[in-house]
């Protein structure tokens, strides 16, 4: 078990090279809008960035939509990943109602969409409710790994308290020390199976906001390094 706490202005975070994180290359990132359908018949809208056999599903937080992930999706594409940012059912331009209790189905459909595009390894990076949904989805199908940013234990009928211990894939939990969900993130980390890691970063940012701005560069690097470590040959 690996538990890390960074509390001094992100100094330790930057030790892994965060000066390069957060910068999108000048070269054009290939991207396209896509739609795909869940097993219960809901049509979801998303946008794919990059081309790679390693895919990353980006699951947004409440009440955002896929656009909250587009900047980081471009960064992932430059790093050599195929990233899919999508709208959960009822959000953005996806169809269906906002039934958060079943949005793990949307993540499973997004994983399948990436596999149809040639991804051999698929990760899920989820922000807040997206992180909770990723942990629940893993009880049905383990991804290559999960990054959960500020995940609540439960949210509007979506409960990861039992699900998190049913998955064996690698997990990285991230939260800001001043965020209100920090205790939930710690609880889920404690319940999770190995391999797992938790990193607490300075500040009050929540979910995908952890990856934005000057202070977000270190968190971006943590996520990218996690993906690289578990992407396989």
Task: Note every long-range contact of 178-183, with CB atoms under 8 Å and residues 24 or more positions apart, other chains counting.
Answer: 178/202, 178/203, 178/204, 179/150, 179/204, 179/205, 179/206, 180/206, 181/128, 181/150, 181/151, 181/152, 181/206, 182/150
Which pLDDT belongs to residue 41?
98
112-118: average pLDDT: 98
Which pLDDT belongs to residue 233?
77
Reported as a pLDDT band with limits 50, 70 and 90, residue 13 is very low
CATH code of 2-23+37-230, in short, is: 3.40.50.1820
pLDDT at 3 over 90: no
pLDDT tens string 160-170: 999 999 999 99
pLDDT tens string 190-200: 999 999 999 99
Q: Which two tokens stand for residue 162?
A: 């039992």
178 in helix, strand or coil?
Answer: coil
pLDDT at 205 over 80: yes
């Amino acid at each position: 078990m690996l538990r890390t706490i960074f509390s001094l202005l992100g100094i330790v975070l930057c030790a892994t090279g965060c000066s390069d994180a957060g910068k999108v290359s000048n070269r054009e990132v290939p991207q396209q809008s896509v739609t795909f359908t869940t097993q219960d018949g809901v049509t979801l809208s998303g946008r794919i960035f990059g081309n790679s056999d390693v895919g990353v599903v980006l699951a947004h937080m409440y009440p955002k939509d896929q656009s909250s992930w587009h900047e980081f999706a471009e960064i992932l594409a430059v790093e050599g990943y195929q990233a899919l940012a999508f709208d959960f059912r009822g959000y953005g331009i996806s169809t269906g109602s906002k039934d958060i209790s079943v949005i793990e189905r949307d993540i499973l459909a997004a994983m399948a969409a990436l596999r149809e595009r040639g991804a051999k390894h698929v990760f899920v990076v989820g922000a807040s409710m997206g992180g909770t949904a990723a942990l629940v989805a893993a009880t049905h199908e383990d991804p290559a790994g999960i990054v959960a940013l500020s995940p609540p234990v439960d949210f509007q009928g979506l409960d990861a308290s039992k699900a998190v211990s049913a998955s064996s894939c690698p997990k990285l939990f991230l939260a800001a020390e001043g965020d209100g969900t920090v205790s939930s993130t710690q609880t889920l980390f404690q319940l999770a199976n190995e391999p797992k890691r938790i990193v607490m970063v300075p500040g009050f940012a929540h979910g995908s906001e952890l990856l934005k701005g000057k202070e977000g560069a270190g968190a971006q690097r943590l996520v990218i390094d996690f993906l690289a470590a578990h992407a396989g040959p």
